[in-house]
Amino acid sequence: MIEKEILINSLRINYKVAGEGQPVLILHGWGGSSSSWTKVQEILANQGYKVICPDLSGFGKTVAPPIPWGIKDYTDFILNFVENLNISQFFLLGHSFGGRISIKFAANYPKRLKGLILCSSAGIKPKLGFKTRIIFWTAKIGNAIFTSKYLSRFKNGARNIFYIFFRHKDYAKADGIMKETIKNVLGEDLLPDLAKIKTKTLIIWGEKDKMVPVKYSYIFKENISNSKSEILPKIGHSPHLEVPEKLSKIIISFLRS
């Protein structure tokens, strides 16, 4: 495995590449990096694939974007990345936040992809239940209250609590540009993009995923026409770390099909 750097639009991008053969691009989740996927990358490379895993902007060894980004910005980032590496077609695998980018990329650039793998992918906004709606409107009222000059210093803390409640602990951990970036990312619902995906797609999910519950895998399967799903019993949100060998076996079977 080789670690490299490339300059794209004044951003120095770090990425890892291993193996030779058909290219497979892996996009890690929020808070992760290319190192998160090292084991899977090695296994796939040993099976005859050229596996490329970049540190997305703001993660690993790649610097944060100069301004807050949204999903479209990250999608354009990936397009520039593969073009700079002279990769015309490839398999795309996205995990969690990386899945958001992969959804948008597959919807916008279908001719670039040989196949799409969504692993515990984020991207669908949860429907608000009764209790959730109460909390949502409480937050809206709280936002107005905290605009007071006397209470404004408590606003960020209150917002952190709100995001943590909705399993968005990454928001509380982010700072600066990345805090605004994650707000942009969480604000976009990619459900309408799923029907635009015509690429052959594999949906992989951990049965015990608490970050993005397995019920969302059924929504993905229902809305992406040319797709199949694989549910991993007793596995959580990070199968690449929990069962990399089993995950790799499923991925390889899809790549070869």
**Spans of the chain below 50 pLDDT:** 129-137, 146, 150-151, 154-155, 157-158, 161-167
> Where in the chain do CATH 3.40.50.1820 domains reside?
2-126+189-256
Residue recorded with tokens 């005859």 = 48
Handedness of CA 71, 132, 238, 207 (dihedral sign): negative
pLDDT of res. 236: 98
pLDDT of res. 173: 64
Task: Tell me the one-letter amino acid at 90.
Answer: F
pLDDT of res. 171: 52
Q: Which residues, at least 6 apart from 146, have a Cβ–Cβ distance to it below 8 Å? A: 152, 154, 155, 158
Per the CB < 8 A criterion, the answer to whether 102 and 92 are in contact is yes
pLDDT of res. 90: 98
Residue recorded with tokens 């936002």 = 143
pLDDT of res. 9: 87
pTM of this structure = 0.85
pLDDT of res. 181: 95
The CATH architecture one would assign to domain 2-126+189-256 is 3-Layer(aba) Sandwich (3.40)
pLDDT of res. 69: 97
pLDDT of res. 176: 85
* 130-145 vs 155-165: helix crossing angle, rounded to 10: 170
